[in-house]
């Protein structure tokens, strides 16, 4: 989700023309799921945009907290307004003339996915002190939560019940740290039975720092029954 979401000065005209139109049309009546929007944002937008509550730090596109903080603080934008701006930008991304390769692709998210992402960004972008929700279980559990893994996977230790991907309590026992690491950074290398390819994002090696990947692997193995080699803390 690269540089089409520009900082506030460049967004003001769009906000007036697009965001308030969306609000007047009843965008506040949607049934957006901001928890799901967070997962989608991390997967689809986190490689380019920084947003404190998502735990993303990429700098390809604008820092979304910086983009909306001033207008939110002065009351110029509320969450609904920011939601409308995000929707308009995603639906009609403006090309970056000096570097079109980093321009946001059209229809990066659509339909309910767009509703959820826009509502999530609207709720948290530029909010002072916003940070990923703290969870028990140590640093690996925090990495699991920060990256929205529970949105797709079931893991009892994390009280996660996602069903898009395999149940981790069932598939991880017996795996080595190296195998778990590969399943995160190269998910198409070995696909679990009954699941199609290209469902899990392919960019977690870029999204998650190496030390956090090691923490995540250790947490997953330590948290699942018969987690072979999980106590080693190494991902291979």
What does the domain layout of the chain look like in residue ranges? 8-124, 139-232
Query: Binning pLDDT at 50, 70 and 90, where does residue 230 land?
Result: very low
- Determine which of 66-75, 190-199, 215-224 has the lowest per-residue pLDDT on average: 190-199
Q: Do domains 8-124 and 139-232 have the same CATH topology?
A: yes
Query: Binning pLDDT at 50, 70 and 90, where does residue 20 land?
Result: very low
Using the Cα atoms of residue 190, residue 191, residue 197 and residue 201 in order, give the sign of their dihedral. Answer: negative
Give the SS3 label for residue 22.
Answer: helix
The residue with greater pLDDT, 97 or 107, is 107
Whole-number Å distance between alpha carbons of 108 and 181: 27
Query: Binning pLDDT at 50, 70 and 90, where does residue 150 land?
Result: confident
Give the SS3 label for residue 162.
Answer: coil
Task: Answer whether residue 28 shows pLDDT above 60.
Answer: no
**pTM to 2 decimal places:** 0.66
pLDDT tens string 45-75: 887 889 999 988 778 888 999 999 999 999 9
Query: Quick one: average pLDDT of 190-203?
Result: 87
CA 36 to each of CA 31, 83, 114, 117: distance values in angstroms, whole numbers, following the listed order: 12, 15, 11, 8
Burial 148-180 (b: 16+ CB within 10 A, else e): bbbbbbbbebbebebeebbbbbebbeebbbebb
Whole-number Å distance between alpha carbons of 130 and 134: 11
In CATH terms, is domain 139-232 a member of 1.10.760.10?
yes
Query: Quick one: average pLDDT of 23-43?
Result: 73
Query: Binning pLDDT at 50, 70 and 90, where does residue 236 land?
Result: very low
Choose which CATH entry (1.10.560.10, 1.10.40.30, 1.10.760.10, 1.10.357.10) describes domain 8-124: 1.10.760.10
Query: Binning pLDDT at 50, 70 and 90, where does residue 16 land?
Result: very low
Both tokens assigned to 158:
């994390």
């Amino acid at each position: 989700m690269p540089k089409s979401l520009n900082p506030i000065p460049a967004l003001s005209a769009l906000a007036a023309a697009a965001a308030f139109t969306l609000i007047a049309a009843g965008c506040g009546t949607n049934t957006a799921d901001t928890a799901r929007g967070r997962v989608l944002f991390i997967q689809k937008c986190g490689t380019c945009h920084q947003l404190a509550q998502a735990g993303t730090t990429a700098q390809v596109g604008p820092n979304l907290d910086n983009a909306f903080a001033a207008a939110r603080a002065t009351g110029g934008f509320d969450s609904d307004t920011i939601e409308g701006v995000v929707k308009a930008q995603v639906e009609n991304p403006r090309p970056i003339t000096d570097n079109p390769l980093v321009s946001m692709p059209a229809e990066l998210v659509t339909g309910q996915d767009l509703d959820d992402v826009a509502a999530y960004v609207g709720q948290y972008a530029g909010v002072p002190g916003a940070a990923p929700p703290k969870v028990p279980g140590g640093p690996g559990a925090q990495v699991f939560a920060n990256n929205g893994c529970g949105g797709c996977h079931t893991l009892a230790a994390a009280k996660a019940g996602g069903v898009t991907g395999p149940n981790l309590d069932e598939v991880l026992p017996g795996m080595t740290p190296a195998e778990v690491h590969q399943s995160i950074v190269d998910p198409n290398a070995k696909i679990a039975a009954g699941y199609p390819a290209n469902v899990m994002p392919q960019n977690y090696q870029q999204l998650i720092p190496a030390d956090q990947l090691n923490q995540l692997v250790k947490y997953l193995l330590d948290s699942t029954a018969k987690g072979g080699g999980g106590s080693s803390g190494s991902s291979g």
